[in-house]
Chains A and B, each alone.
Chain A
Amino acid sequence: MIMEQGQQNPGILDKGRTSNGAKGMTVIVKTVASWVKVLIFLFGINIVLFGHLTPGGGFAGGVILASSYVLLMLAFGREFAEENLPLPLASKLDCLGAFMFALIAILGVVFGGSFFLNFLFQKYLPGQALHLVSAGIIPLCNIAIGLKVGASLFLVVLVLSVSCKGTDCRFE
C-alpha cells in the first residue's frame, strides 16, 4: 500500500465506481442487493427475537442487522446508505438500546427487590415453555442488545469509510 506523493488517499469504500463514474456497483449487483438486504434484515430480527429458544441472541442478531446495511453501503455507495439511516438517528438508536437495557434491569428493583430480577417470569407473565412468550425479560433484553449492536457496527463501518489526507478528513 505505497502511494505516490500527489495521489489522494482513497477511502475504503470508494472502489465501487462504474465505468461512467456513477457511484456504486453495476446493475446486476444493485438489483440483487435490493432484494437480498430485506431478507438479511428479517433473518437478523428472527435471530434476535427467538434468542431464548434457538442459538443466537442479541449479539449475533445485531451483527446480522448491521451487515444488511453494510451490503447497502457496498452496492449503492456511501451517501445512499447515509440518507437511508442518517448518522444522528443511528447514534440515537444506539443510546436507546443501552438505555432500554438499563431500564429493564432497574425495573427488577422496582417490581421485585433485586437488580436484574426476572420479574416477568416470576410474577406477571410466566408463559409456556418453548413458546415465543416465555422466559420473562430475556427477549426484551435481547431486543435492546440487538438494537445497540446493530446501530454501533453500522456507525463503525460508516465512519471508517472516510478518506483522510494529512490532517483533514472529509466524508465523500
Chain B
Amino acid sequence: MLYALCFLLFMIGLYCAVVKKNMVKIVIGLAIMEYAVNLFLIMLGYRAGGAAPIIDRTYLEAGTDKVTASFINAAVDPLPQALVLTSIVISLGSLALIIAMCIRIYGKYGTFDITEIRRLKG
C-alpha cells in the first residue's frame, strides 16, 4: 500500500516534467521524481518495530556472538540508508547543473517558456 503511494508521487513528478511549459516547473517535477525514488529505496529496508542500526557499547559488552543475533534480528537495514544518502547529494549536484542551464537560457532568450525556445540562435 505504501509502495503504491510512492509510485503515485513518482507519477505526479512525471506529469509535471512532461506537461508543464515553464522551465522551472519542469525542474521541480524532476526533483519530485528523485524524492519518490529515494523514499522507495529507504522503505525497502524497513522492518516493522525495528531499532536504529547503530551499535553502541551496550551491544558490545554482551559478547560478539550475541551482537549478531540480537542486532540483525532487531534493526532496520542500514545499507539502503547509506546508499540513499549518497544519492541525495548526487541529485543535488545534478539539480545545480540543470538550474545553471535554466539561468543561461533565460539570460539568452528572456523567457522561461519552452514553446518559445525553438531556434538555435547564433
Within 8 A of A (CB), among B96-122: 96, 99-100, 103-104, 106-108, 110, 112
Contact of B110 with A130 in the complex, beta carbons under 8 Å: no
Closest chain B residue, CB of each to CB of A59? B89
Contact of A164 with B103 in the complex, beta carbons under 8 Å: yes
Q: Interface size for chain B: under 10, 10 to 19, 20 to 34, or 35 or more residues?
A: 20 to 34
Contact of A59 with B85 in the complex, beta carbons under 8 Å: yes
Complex: A2 Cα to B102 Cα, angstroms: 14
Complex: A160 Cα to B96 Cα, angstroms: 8
In the complex, whether B2 has a CB less than 8 A from a CB of chain A is no
In the complex, whether B65 has a CB less than 8 A from a CB of chain A is no
Contact of B107 with A129 in the complex, beta carbons under 8 Å: no
In the complex, whether B18 has a CB less than 8 A from a CB of chain A is no
Collect the chain B residues with CB atoms within 8 Å of residue A21's CB: none
Collect the chain A residues with CB atoms within 8 Å of residue B57's CB: 130
Closest chain B residue, CB of each to CB of A164? B107
Closest chain A residue, CB of each to CB of B89? A59
Contact of B56 with A130 in the complex, beta carbons under 8 Å: yes
In the complex, whether B60 has a CB less than 8 A from a CB of chain A is yes
- The digit string for A143-172, where 1 denotes a CB below 8 A from any CB of B, is 000000100110010011000111101000
- The digit string for B71-95, where 1 denotes a CB below 8 A from any CB of A, is 0000000000010011011001100
Given the known interface contacts A62-B89, A129-B60, A164-B103, the answer about A3 and B112 at a Cβ–Cβ threshold of 8 Å is: no
Given the known interface contacts A62-B89, A160-B99, A164-B103, the answer about A55 and B108 at a Cβ–Cβ threshold of 8 Å is: no
| Given A1-B112, A9-B107, A59-B86, 5 extra CB contacts under 8 A | A55-B54, A59-B89, A153-B93, A160-B103, A166-B108
List 16 contacting pairs A-B, 8 Å CB cutoff, sorted by A: A54-B54, A55-B54, A59-B88, A59-B89, A60-B85, A63-B89, A129-B60, A149-B89, A152-B93, A156-B96, A160-B99, A160-B103, A164-B103, A164-B107, A166-B108, A167-B107
Residue ranges of B at the interface with A (Cβ–Cβ < 8 Å): 54-57, 60, 82, 85-86, 88-89, 92-93, 96, 99-100, 103-104, 106-108, 110, 112
